[in-house]
Structure 1
Amino acid sequence: MKISILIPAFNCQDTIYSCIRSVIKQTYHNIEIVVVNDGSTDNTGMRLDQYAKHYNNQLRIIHTKHLGLSETRNRLLYESSGDYVFFIDADDWISPETIETMVKVVNKTKADVVVCGNDMQGVFGIKNCVVSQSCPNRREVLKYLLRDRSLRNYAWGKLIKRELWNNIEFPVGKVFEDIATIHKVLIKSNKTVLIPSIFYHYNIHSKDSITYGLKPEILSDMMEACAIQASNILEFDPTLEYEVKKMLFRNKMIALFSLFRTLDFDGKLIKKIYRYQPSVFVNKIKMN
């Protein structure tokens, strides 16, 4: 089974080596490593070319103009040729046995998606809530995703059958593209397996403020992504309406808190954020 490890890279000269080294050191060897340098303006591109030579061209490096994360991930998917794909951010790293362990789970369970645990480097270890391997049905998988706990709304940390990505793309020019996309893959997955092993190591030192300080200008993107997720999940399973409402309420509270924290009381922005609703809810209101 061939695995494509896909790395979007942008201005990550200080962290890219740790990421590349963790992938090169995998105990599973039937892999291709594809890196798209997304128009970096630092030394990322030069270092990637050096690493490719040092590691005897085990890396396939693609240099592009600056496309943004979504379009870069779409390009990575287009370039991949593996049976399964695994995204890793250029400032993170994975344990040596990650791919081998997850492939064994695929072989044993015939899973379309395998999700591993993660911690966060730089603060106290925030670990995946899964305490034992589980194989929930699709409805439970989506419930986990809506809670964003034992199953996170990120592209990384998931070994995903390549064919599930057919006709699915990350939305170009948007932030929170993972929320708007990953649920589509999980809806198509016949079997998703969660394992408790903490294999993915998320480096928060180099993350920008999107993760830990939501800027007002991106909050509407966040709520739009949540509304897309909610609509698609409700279309698949209308019985998840309660969980969807909780997810939307939680994220609206996060958005509101972020606005108050930055003392930004832009009324137009607040109305824009709070008008986002799943199309199912909008249709109900119209019918009533």
Structure 2
Amino acid sequence: MEKISVVIPVYNGEAYLRQCVESVLNQTYQNLEVIIINDGSKDSTALICEQLRQEDSRIRVLHKPVNQGIGAGRNSSLELATGDYLVFVDSDDWIDPNHVMDLYDLMKRMDSDVAIANFTQYFEDTGKYNIHITADDYYEEVYTPQEWFKFQYGHGNNLSLCFTVPWGKMYKRSLFETILYYTDGFGEDDRTTWKIYLMADKIAYMHRSSYLYRVNSESMTQTTKVSTVFHVGPIAERLEVLSLLGFDLTEEIKAYKWRAQINRDDKLRNGDVKAYKDLEFRMKLLEKYKR
């Protein structure tokens, strides 16, 4: 069986790291290389990493002396990984026992370069799950990059988030040859995952939630401003690249306008008139030229 590298970046993850790693070690697909990137944690994360490494020879650990962010952590893992395929798991999440096997099987059957699953939200504060996909809802589909960029919009079941996040997927490691994760602030996934799709020929999706995504009051997406989570920068960069490639930009322009509205209002709230006028200029041009 081919080797699959499972990457777990972690910062101050003592509360959840063991559950996360054990869910990976207990996969039905066993030929795994588990890479834990300890990103300068100040709690007992380092101790837990070393305990886990002693318990299973498949685990490799990189301790970073200072916190550099999750994007830099993923980049470090790209240098260490020796598997034919990559899977990312966030340290406060976990995966069901067939997650890796199902992604691998889907990728092989569909001859794809990326395999994608959906996810279930677990709300830490209430102990409840948001189960939005049942066994009867299952389907599989294969998309070209052009089709996948369109498919992400206008659908329920968290399809847009599935498009953006790095986890819940299996990638051919070769796709990352010219790609590094963004490291200059929030949004490393929003600014990177779409680039990997462009390097693929086929993208396979299975409508099954085999990844458990923990939501708590301290989650980055819960504590970061909406205008930061939905910054216009990633869409603007995407529009530039996709226009060069001749993609249909209709849905991307709609997404840009939606984000620009959020960011424009936020700039005014913070008194940044220059940034406001810059966004307003672009919005007026889109209206003038009916894009």
Q: TM-score, normalised by structure 2?
A: 0.84
Letter in 2 for 1:266: G
| Structure 2: gaps spanning 5 or more residues | none
| Structure 1: gaps spanning 5 or more residues | none
Q: Specify the alignment match of 2:242 in structure 1.
A: 233
Q: Specify the alignment match of 1:63 in structure 2.
A: 63
Q: Specify the alignment match of 2:54 in structure 1.
A: 53
Q: Deviation per CA, 1:240-279, whole angstroms, max 9, x where unpaired?
A: x21111111222344467x49xx944234752883797xx
Letter in 1 for 2:38: N
Q: Partners in 2 of 1:114 and 1:196 — Cα distance?
A: 11
Instruction: Confirm or deny: 8 A CA contact 2:217 2:223 kept in the other structure.
Output: no
Report 1:89-104 matches (<5 A): 89-104=90-105
Q: 1:66 to 1:214 in 2, by over 3 A?
A: closer
Report 1:1-288 matches (<5 A): 1-55=2-56, 57-64=57-64, 65-122=66-123, 125=130, 127=132, 131-145=138-152, 149-150=158-159, 151-205=162-216, 207-208=218-219, 210-215=220-225, 219=228, 222-239=231-248, 241-255=249-263, 259=266, 264-268=269-273, 270-271=275-276, 274=279
Q: Partners in 2 of 1:178 and 1:31 — Cα distance?
A: 23
Q: Deviation per CA, 1:10-58, whole angstroms, max 9, x where unpaired?
A: 0111010110010000000111000110000111111111111123x32
Letter in 1 for 2:19: S
More deviation in 266-275 or 134-143?
266-275
Superposed displacement of residue 224, structure 1:
1.4
Instruction: Confirm or deny: 8 A CA contact 2:8 2:90 kept in the other structure.
Output: yes
Instruction: Confirm or deny: 8 A CA contact 1:102 1:159 kept in the other structure.
Output: yes
Q: Deviation per CA, 1:119-171, whole angstroms, max 9, x where unpaired?
A: 11016516479851111222111113456842420111110000001110012
Instruction: Confirm or deny: 8 A CA contact 1:22 1:94 kept in the other structure.
Output: yes
Q: 1:114 to 1:8 in 2, by over 3 A?
A: same
Instruction: Confirm or deny: 8 A CA contact 1:95 1:200 kept in the other structure.
Output: yes
Q: Deviation per CA, 1:33-85, whole angstroms, max 9, x where unpaired?
A: 00110000111111111111123x32101101221111111001111011110
Q: Partners in 2 of 1:83 and 1:71 — Cα distance?
A: 21
Q: Partners in 1 of 2:196 and 2:280 — Cα distance?
A: 26
Q: Deviation per CA, 1:164-223, whole angstroms, max 9, x where unpaired?
A: 011100122221111111111101111100001211110012653x4135337x729822
Identity %: 24
Superposed displacement of residue 230, structure 1:
2.4
The SS at the match of 2:48 is helix
Q: CA RMSD in A?
A: 3.0
- Equivalent pairs counted in the alignment come to 275
Q: Partners in 2 of 1:271 and 1:131 — Cα distance?
A: 44
Instruction: Confirm or deny: 8 A CA contact 1:5 1:32 kept in the other structure.
Output: yes
Runs of 4 or more, structure 1, over 6 Å off, are none
Instruction: Confirm or deny: 8 A CA contact 2:264 2:279 kept in the other structure.
Output: no
